[in-house]
Amino acid sequence: MGMKRVSYGYLLTVFLVLVALPLLAAGIAIAGNGSTLDAWVLAINPDKSIYLEEEDAFIGMAVLDEKGQMVCDSNLTLDITPPNGTIETFTTENGEIQVSPQCNYYGKTELPDFYLTYPTGSEGSYSLNLTTLTPYGTKSIFDQFLVAKWVPYGVRRYAPTRVYPPERYRVILEIKANQDYSGKITEYVPSDFEISEQEGIAVEQDGEYKKLVW
């Protein structure tokens, strides 16, 4: 496999196509076996793992019930705790978390069911706590992202937050180089995802993940 050369200030866009059938089909089958809190699914996906100071973070969210169906009227609360420790709260009720007009669509959609644009501040770790009230109690999921003054490479991922099994989805990795680089580019995805055969991409099994190498 050849080496990738990325020069300072250059924006590299990498495309790949994934087939979500094995992962989501298994998830729906498990969820349909019982009406419990554990069967509900919350998802939260910031579009970057590291942002620059005062850069906007686009955060996608989704809710599935015990039958694997979208819950578009879910009352979501997202608590974001920046480095200063002051919790910032965003909800669907006050309209800060927006609901996609395609949320109820059982088909291919690139837009998250719920989403929020959050302006980051100073450098440090930002913790995310997403909660929703279900008929069986409160469901929560936690995540985090970092904010830095400078990064050697900025990576933004354009990918679906919710997938519909029969469809194939395009994932875009947008890489901006802040310094010169020559070498391989590696990305990891869950092993249940099927990656369609594409020129220039090697797919290797690595434990619970698949390693994609350009």
- pLDDT, tens digit (0-9, with 9 covering 90-100), for 53-94: 999 999 999 999 988 889 999 999 999 999 999 999 999 999
Question: CA–CA separation, 62 vs 72, rounded Å?
Answer: 8
Domain boundaries, the chain: 4-213
The pLDDT score that the predictor gives to residue 194 is: 79
Q: Which pTM does this prediction carry? A: 0.82
Confidence band (pLDDT; 50, 70, 90) for 9? low
Using one digit for the tens of pLDDT, what is the confidence trace for 17-42? Answer: 554 433 333 333 333 344 578 889 99
CA-based nearest residue to 140, from 43, 18, 14: 43
The pLDDT score that the predictor gives to residue 52 is: 97
Q: What is the largest CA-CA distance in the chain?
A: 53
**% residues pLDDT > 70 (the chain):** 84
126 to 29, 44, 61, 121, 123: CA distances (angstroms): 34, 14, 17, 10, 9
pLDDT for 8 beyond 70:
no
Higher pLDDT, 8 or 206: 206
Average pLDDT, the chain: 83
Q: Which CATH class is domain 4-213?
A: mainly beta
Higher pLDDT, 182 or 5: 182
The pLDDT score that the predictor gives to residue 57 is: 98
